Amino acid sequence: MTAEQPVAAHTIHTPRGVVWKGECPLAHSARTNPCRNYSTTSVSAAELEFGQPVHETHPHILKAGEITQGITAQEYADRRAKLAFSLPADGVAVLAAADLKYRSGAVFFPYRQESNFLYLTGFLEQDSLAIIRKTGPSLGDYDFTLFCRPKDPRAEQWSGPWSGLGAAVDVFNADESADINKVNSLLPQLLRNASKIHTDIVPNALTNFGSLMQSTGISTSPLQPLVNSLRAIKSPAEVANMRHAGQISGRAITSAMRRPWSYEKDLHNYLDYAFTQSGLSGPAYVPVVAGGARGCMIHYVHNTRALEQDSTVLVDAGGEYGFYVTDITRTWPVSGKFTPAQRDLYQAVLKVQRQCVSLCRASAGLSLDEIHRAAETGLRDQLTLLGFENLHKGDAMDTLFPHHVGHYVGLDVHDVPGYGRSVALKKGHCVTIEPGVYVPDDDRFPKHFRGMAVRIEDSVCVDDTAPLILTTEAVKEVDDIEALR
């Protein structure tokens, strides 16, 4: 393969709805230059190497038309159109790809694209910059320019393949592509005469993108609030990805409940393996595997201790599919059978969790904050029935239930950061519902519950009249848990 061969056999849908065979020379506009004046050699996309899976090279991973698993090129184009429509006249959105993170020396972590960049482009490579400019008043009136690395066979011999400028146009539907190494001279030209720049890039020692934008003298505003309003409401394709992740993750956690475990680390490793072995890309986050009183530490992730047979284990884990995650917490007895006190506390939390899940419907008109207040009231009532006293006084409830009942979930475990929990839930919002009770060794609380921790969490998609529980395969009824062994 020569550097920068045109991709001839990859049929794409441009943001304007035109269907054509990509044969553009690299670094040219797909819309204005359909390559009529260029003599090229047609090469099947299946014979080329890209920086990420495409359908022609990875039909076992991607369906025709998909850029990433479950998400089509058309959906990515529609997202850009909606973002551009929200910009002021001649407004520009500028997004930078994530930097490669190093663990130590030359050892790097697996690369993960910045979530907003991923959401709008589907492009998974570092050293990239996306420019989306509003060009008119109608939905779809925008230009999309993608700066990225040109093909470089010598560098790719060491680092593996990347996609190049031609694929930026032919595969990822950029109107124009440009060499990231020329960004200093080209970016100011692209931003000329813009009314406002919306970006979350700030000047720092690692990139000069922020400084380049400052040098234009054009006023800037944060981009994140505009993207959050889009990302917060999930499309049917996004919900399908999250449901698939929830289904596989739930089955893996239920499978783990069937087995006896002696060490937290063994249970942790089993879940990581089970997620990947069943077709997910892997764990969505570092799991909590907390035996006994360690469950009272909300984000305990050491996962190195032995598990006592008379205790419970609290597991907060979930897998990822197509970059969409699921978030599940289950608590179960290490021995396979609850003690009376464990059963009582567990059922108290479960009752409140079921009540709060039922409120995740658009017709209820409630926000996560309002559901949280319902969870606090419900837990206080249930704990009072179990003999807890004076829960209205001091910080008793903050001690027993110190975190919020839920958060948004999607491309990130804590999705759309900055998007308020006071927003009334609508169809397409995806959230977690995770009440918990963590009883410290404190004389204020009944002795037989001290050191116990119970959290029960499901990922839920809000619908009009009923919630869609994305993680229902993870069993949570007492009888079901005990029946597994």
Tens-digit pLDDT profile for residues 277-306: 999 999 999 999 999 999 999 999 999 999
Amino acid type, 311? S
CA–CA separation, 335 and 321 (whole Å):
32
Which residues contact residue 219 at a Cβ distance below 8 angstroms, ignoring those fewer than 6 apart? 196, 197
Would you state the pLDDT for residue 72? 98
23-35: average pLDDT: 37
pLDDT of 29 over the 90 cut:
no
pLDDT of residue 207: 59
Give the tens place of pLDDT for each residue, 301-311.
Answer: 999 999 999 99
Decide: helix, strand or coil at residue 57: coil
Is a pLDDT exceeding 90 seen at residue 204? no
- What pLDDT is stored for residue 203 in this prediction? 67
- pTM here is 0.91
Query: Percent helix, strand, coil in the chain (nearest 5)?
Result: 35, 20, 50
Is 161 in a helix, a strand, or coil? coil
Structural contact between residues 429 and 408, judged by C-beta atoms closer than 8 angstroms: yes
> CATH 3.40.350.10 spans which residues of the chain?
11-231
Contacts of 39 (CB under 8 A, 6+ apart): none
Percentage of the chain lying above the pLDDT 90 cut: 86
Alpha-helical regions (H) of 216-279: 224-231, 236-257, 264-277
Predicted confidence (pLDDT) at residue 210 exceeds the cutoff of 80: no
pLDDT at 44 > cutoff 90: no
Task: Please give the pLDDT value at position 215.
Answer: 78
Rg of the chain (C-alpha set): 25
What's the Cα-to-Cα distance from 207 to each of 99, 114, 164, 204, rounded to whole Å? Answer: 9, 15, 20, 6
Nearest to 437 by CA among 390, 482, 380, 477: 380
Question: Helix axis angle, 264-277 relative to 236-257, nearest 10°?
Answer: 140
Return the amino acid letter for 255.
Answer: S
Please tell me the predicted confidence (pLDDT) of residue 211. 77
* DSSP 3-state of 206: coil
Please check whether the domain covering 236-483 is classified as CATH 3.90.230.10: yes
Each residue's pLDDT tens digit, 126-181? 999 999 999 999 999 999 999 999 999 999 999 999 999 999 999 999 999 999 99
Q: How many residues does the chain have?
A: 485
pLDDT digits (tens, 9 = 90+) for 101-131: 999 999 999 999 999 999 999 999 999 999 9
* DSSP symbol at 298: T
pLDDT in the model for residue 23: 33
Which residue bears the tokens 């093909």?
A: 151
Tens digit of each residue's pLDDT (9 = 90 or more) over 370-413: 999 999 999 999 999 999 999 998 999 999 999 999 999 999 99
Q: What is the pLDDT of residue 153?
A: 96
Residues 224-228, mean pLDDT to the nearest whole number: 98
Query: Under a CB-based contact definition with an 8 Å cutoff, are residues 163 and 50 in contact?
Result: yes
Identify whether the C-beta of residue 124 lies closer than 8 Å to the C-beta of residue 323.
no
Start-to-end CA span in the chain (Å): 56
Two tokens at 111?
Answer: 């690369």
Q: Is the pLDDT of residue 24 over 50?
A: no
| pLDDT at position 476 over 70 | yes
Tokens of 132: 């989306």
What is the phi/psi pair of residue 458, to 5°? -125, 150
Per-residue tokens: 175: 């109107």
Share above pLDDT 70 across residues of the chain, in percent, rounded to a whole number = 90
> What value does the mean pLDDT take over residues 254-268?
98
Specify the amino acid at residue 482: E
Structure tokens at 242: 């999250």
Backbone angles phi, psi at 124, to 5 degrees: -110, 20
The dihedrals phi and psi of 209, each to the nearest 5 degrees, come to -60, -45
Q: What is the pLDDT of residue 41?
A: 52
Cα–Cα distance for residue pair 255/319, rounded to 1 Å: 14
- Please identify which residue in the block is written with the tokens 């700030």: 202
Tokens 């709008």, residue located: 120
Confidence at residue 8, expressed as pLDDT on a 0 to 100 scale: 36
Q: How confident is the model at residue 45 (pLDDT cuts 50, 70, 90)?
A: confident
> Is pLDDT of 25 > 80?
no
Tell me what the mean pLDDT of segment 202-217 comes to: 71
* pLDDT the model gives residue 216: 80
- Would you place residue 37 in the very low, low, confident or very high pLDDT band (cuts 50, 70, 90)? very low
Averaged pLDDT score across all residues of the chain: 91
Vertex 376 angle, CA 374 and 379, to 5°: 105
**pLDDT grade, residue 14 (50/70/90)?**
very low
Residue 35 is predicted with a pLDDT of: 34
pLDDT beyond 90 at 26: no
Q: Is the pLDDT of residue 31 over 50?
A: no
Architecture of domain 11-231: 3-Layer(aba) Sandwich (3.40)
- Domain(s) labelled CATH 3.90.230.10 in the chain stretch across 236-483
Dist CA 292 CA 118 (whole Å): 39
Model confidence over 321-336: pLDDT tens digits? 999 999 999 999 999 9
Contact status, residue 313 vs residue 289, Cβ threshold 8 Å: yes
